[in-house]
A = this chain, B = another copy of it.
């Protein structure tokens, strides 16, 4: 009698997710705008609050919205930062490196939320790389437009850094690498290892992360021409805040 069923096959949650995602991606819900509240979704789709919540949780997990307790859920809008490892640390130009993916990653001021400098014993794996246990630790959180975007912890052998501006929060022009150069240990070789994962609770706290937001974890080792490792820098980057770029030749 009835027409063959259309086989929706998608759960109520996914139907809500799909509609909202489409609205966000099409721009009919603009960055900063409020997403329909749980109650609104309850009415509109005739589902329970639990289901409406589950739908919003999925969008959170995709980083499309962020949520403020007691206020509402809002469409994310954050222009990613271009982090170009090779041209920041070297001065090369790459003709092929222009206009890839993003034209408008304008440079924006990056501030330091917090910085702690101390002497300590390095974790085992770091000590092995540096061939030194006693290190100066530079621990800081960077922010852009009021939002924490990176947590970085650097380890420099204490026998190099002790008593130098590296032990001061502000290391002066050119930063730690320039100071290492001043004392005859200029780093010239760099290796960056990158992992992608969900943040642990400590990282979530430092970076004020919403649940479901992935991070990139970068370990950079910096070595001199004589292959002495003079710095290990462990960085945690908020995933949707960055586009990372590396350039190289064959």
Q: A residues engaging B (CB < 8 A)?
A: 50, 58, 61-63, 80, 85-86, 89-90, 94-97, 99-102, 125, 128-129, 187-198, 200, 211-212, 214-216, 219, 221-223, 227, 229, 237, 239-240, 242-250
Contact = CB atoms under 8 A, between A and B. Distances in A.
A157 to B, nearest CB: 14
B189 A215 contact: no
A197 B219 contact: no
A186 to B, nearest CB: 8
Contact of A214 (B128, B197, B219): B197
A191 B85 CA distance: 11
A227 B242 CA distance: 26
B61 A198 contact: yes
A61 B63 CA distance: 13
Contacts of A58: 211
A223 to B, nearest CB: 4
26 contacts: A61-B198, A62-B198, A80-B195, A90-B248, A94-B191, A99-B128, A99-B129, A100-B129, A100-B219, A101-B193, A188-B249, A188-B250, A191-B245, A191-B246, A192-B247, A193-B243, A193-B244, A194-B246, A195-B243, A196-B237, A196-B242, A197-B214, A197-B239, A197-B240, A198-B212, A214-B214
